Amino acid sequence: MSLVSLAVVAVLFSIGTYLILQRALSRIIIGLGLLSHGANLLIMLSGTGPAAPPVLAEGSVGPVADPLPQAMVLTAIVITFGITAFLLALALRSYLLTGNDEVEDDIEDRRIAREQHVPDPVPHEVEMHEVPL
């Protein structure tokens, strides 16, 4: 693992976080893209450093790169692509329906948060007359 690669991972996570904290859906998608890049690279860093590709040619000797993180990352790249495509479709649909691609606040939650429920007053004294049944 090299220090510079780890620093790149940290920068990608940091800026990805900054972007997903916004309201514009297309920006959030870009932020997610950065986060996935960062996560994939982090997984890759757990393997060996720069090395020969894990291709076993006839008679080849010497160390090769760790194949396991590569297999995982390969899967992750493709799935990220699928999710990005889906989110983009969502953003497009949202824009065409509402005229913007912003994630609005949940109005219902806002209302609940604003309201103060005053509990019913509890009767103070025990009633004197019991109603015999």
Partner 1 sequence: MIVLLLLHLLLAVGVLLYRRRIGRAAWIVSAVGPLAVLGWSLANLSGITREAPYEQNVEWVPSLDLALQFRVDQYSLVFLLVVAVAGALIFLFAGSYFSVGPRVATFAATMTLFGGAMVGLVGADHLLALFVFWELTTISSYLLIGFDDHRAQARSAALHAAIVTGAGGLAMLGGFVLLASESGSYLISEIVAAPPAPTPAVTAAWILILVGAATKSAQVPFHSWLPGAMAAPTPASAFLHSATMVKAGIFLVGRLAPAAVASTSWWEIAIFTIGFSTMVLGGWRALRQNDLKLLLAFGTVSQLGFIFLLVGAGPSGLLFGGLALLIAHALFKAALFLVVGAIDHEAGTRDIRRLSGLRRSMPALFWVATLASMSMAAVPLTFGFAAKEAAFDSLVSRATPLVATAAVASVLTVAYTGRFLIGAFGRHQAGGEPIGVGARTPNNWLLWSPLGLSAVGVVLGLVPQVLFELVDRATAAVTGITDAGKLVLWPGWVPALAWSMLSLAAGAFLVWRSELSTAATSAVGRFSERLPSGEGVFRRAIPALLTFADRSSGLLQNGSLPAYVTTILLVAVTVPTIAVLGGLPPLTSPRVGTVLEWSLGLLIAGFAASLIFVRRRFATVILLGGVGYGIAGLYGVLGGPDLSLTQLLVETLVIALFAFVLRHLPAAFAKPATARIQRLIVAAIVGAFIFVGGLVVNAARSPGTVSETYLADAVPEAAGSNVVNVILVDFRAFDTLGEITVLVAAALGAAGLVLPVIRRSAERS
Count of residues that bind partner 1 according to CB under 8 A: 105
CB of 14 to partner 1, least distance (A): 3
71: contact with partner 1 by CB under 8 A: yes
CA 106 to chain centre: 19
What residues between 102 and 121 interact with partner 1 by CB under 8 A?
102-103, 105-110, 112-119
CB of 43 to partner 1, least distance (A): 10
89: contact with partner 1 by CB under 8 A: yes
Identity of residue 84: T
98: contact with partner 1 by CB under 8 A: no
CB of 13 to partner 1, least distance (A): 4
- Give dist(CA 43, CA 68) in Å, integer: 10
- Give dist(CA 58, CA 4) in Å, integer: 34
Residue 39: which of 84, 2, 67, 77 has the closest Cα?
77
Contacts of 95 (CB under 8 A, 6+ apart): 25, 101
What residues between 18 and 37 interact with partner 1 by CB under 8 A?
18-24, 26-27, 30, 33-34, 37
59: contact with partner 1 by CB under 8 A: no
Classified as helix, coil or strand, 48 is coil
CB of 91 to partner 1, least distance (A): 6
